[in-house]
Amino acid sequence: MANINVKLKIWRQKNEKDAGKFDVYDLKGVSTDSSFLEMMDVLNEQIIQGGGEPVAFDHDCREGICGACSMFINGRAHGPDTAVTTCQLHMRSFSDGETITVEPWRSSGFPVIKDLMVDRAAFDQILQEGGFVSINTGGVPDANAIPIPKDDADASFDAATCIGCGACVATCKNGSAMLFVSAKVSQLALLPQGRVEASRRAKAMVAKMDELGFGSCTNTGACEVECPKEISIANIARLNREFLGANIKS
């Protein structure tokens, strides 16, 4: 463990309409064992003690699973480490004296609410179009009634680990939500339970994604690199297949 001093260049924006700007803060004696968000806590404590308003940012579980945290750090979604969310990023990834630039997700699909906090309701809206299996509570078959090949179940699981953080959108130069959409489409399409509605689901979710202003996918693969859950762009290929199939049928 060591302590480092850092200079923080942080995006401050009062509300959606405000133009916003970078403010610069010096923070001394940051433990390298701290997580990035713990460092932000210390900064906020310093700001409050100085009579200012703390930096607003989304965070909740702080163990990499809820998907709330969403910072663009030194030009990368969730910062320099791979396969982690911002809350799992630790200060040992930074060096003494470093300037760290922190911005919110920037995408027309995710308007800024305040400072580093953005509105990701669009993700919920996309899933409301079909990101589920249309069954009611009760009256379902026994859990072991339908055997599922382990490889399919595992592939479905890999897609299902999406935490809906939005790093893929924030990273994509087109602001595309294809990795997010494809993860849900794949998870369900790979299982017999979800196969029944696979075409309908793909069409409805893609239509909603387009309507909400997310951009198109041009296969740069940037989303896959920044995804904290390492969701593969193979899912996008599967989505395209489902989508194409659905449109041929209709």
Partner 1 sequence: MVLDAKIPKGPLAEKWSKYKASQNLVNPANKRKLDIIVVGTGLAGASAAASFGELGFNVKAFCYQDSPRRAHSIAAQGGINAAKNYPNDGDTVYRLFYDTIKGGDYRSREANVYRLAEVSNSIIDQCVAQGVPFAREYGGLLDNRSFGGALVSRTFYARGQTGQQLLLGAYGALNRQIKAGKVKMYTRSEMMDVVLVDGRARGIVTRNMVTGAVESHFGHAVVLATGGYGNVFFLSTNAMGSNVSAAWKAYKRGALFANPCYVQIHPTCIPVHGEFQSKLTLMSESLRNDGRIWVPKKKEDAAAIREGRLKGSEIKEDDRDYYLERRYPAFGNLVPRDVASRAAKERCDAGFGVGKTGLAVFLDFKDSINRLGEDAIRARYGNLFQMYEKITDHNPYKTPMMIYPAIHYTMGGIWVDYELQTTIKGLFAAGEANFSDHGANRLGASALMQGLADGYFVLPYTIQNYLADQINVPRIPTDHPAFKQAEEDVKAFINRLKSVNGKQSVDHFHKILGHYVWDFIGMARDKQGLESVIGKIRALKAEFWKDVRIPGEVKGLNTELEKANRVADFFELAELMAHDALEREESCGGHFRTEFQTPEGEAKRDDANFMYVAAWEYKGDNQTPQVHKEPLNYEYIEVKARNYK
The residues in 153-182 that bind partner 1, with binding defined as CB under 8 A, are: 153-154, 156-157, 160-161, 163-164
> Shortest approach of partner 1 to residue 107 CB, angstroms?
15
Residue 71: CB minimum distance to partner 1, A: 15
Distance, in Å, from the CA atom of 29 to the CA atom of 91, rounded to the nearest integer, reads: 11
Give the binding-site size for partner 1 (rule: CB under 8 A): 79
Tell how far CA 166 is from the center of its chain: 3
Of the residues 19, 21, 97, 142, which one makes contact with partner 1 according to CB under 8 A: 142
Helix segments in the chain, DSSP class H: 36-49, 121-128, 150-160, 167-171, 178-189, 192-195, 198-211, 222-226, 234-249
CA nearest 204: which of 122, 131, 118, 109? Answer: 131
Among 6, 10, 68, 169, binds partner 1 (CB under 8 A): 68
Distance CA 126, CA 177 (A): 10
Nearest distance from residue 219's CB to partner 1, in Å?
27
Q: How far is the CB of 40 from partner 1 (least distance, A)?
A: 9
**Binding segment toward partner 1, per CB under 8 A, in 4-12, 46-54, 100-108, 168-176:** 46-54
Q: What is the nearest approach in angstroms of partner 1 to the Cβ of residue 28?
A: 13
Buried b (16+ CB within 10 A) or exposed e, 196-233: ebbbbbbbbbbebbeeeebbebeeeebbbebbbbebbb
Q: Measured in whole angstroms, how far is the alpha carbon of residue 83 from the centre of its chain?
A: 12
Q: How far apart are CA 161 and CA 156, in angstroms?
A: 9
Give 128-149 as a DSSP string. HTTSS----SS----TTSS---
The phi, psi pair for 98, rounded to 5°, reads -70, 145
CA distance 37 to 46: 14
Cβ proximity to partner 1: between 210 and 218 the closer is 210
Among 9, 12, 76, 92, binds partner 1 (CB under 8 A): 92
As measured in angstroms, the least distance from the Cβ of 218 to partner 1 is 27
Interacting stretch for partner 1, rule CB under 8 A, among 100-108, 128-136, 170-178, 212-220?
A: 128-136
What is the contact mask toward partner 1 in residues 215 to 244, using x (rule: CB under 8 A)? Answer: ------------------------------
Residues 9, 62, 76, 200: which binds partner 1 (CB under 8 A)? 62
Cα separation, 182 vs 51, whole angstroms: 46
Q: Among residue numbers 103 through 122, which ones bind partner 1 (CB under 8 A)?
A: 113-114, 117, 119-121
By CB under 8 A, is residue 18 in contact with partner 1? Answer: no
Residue 241 CB, nearest distance to partner 1 (Å)?
19
Is 84 one of the binding residues for partner 1 (CB under 8 A)?
yes
| d(C-alpha 166, C-alpha 168), whole Å | 5
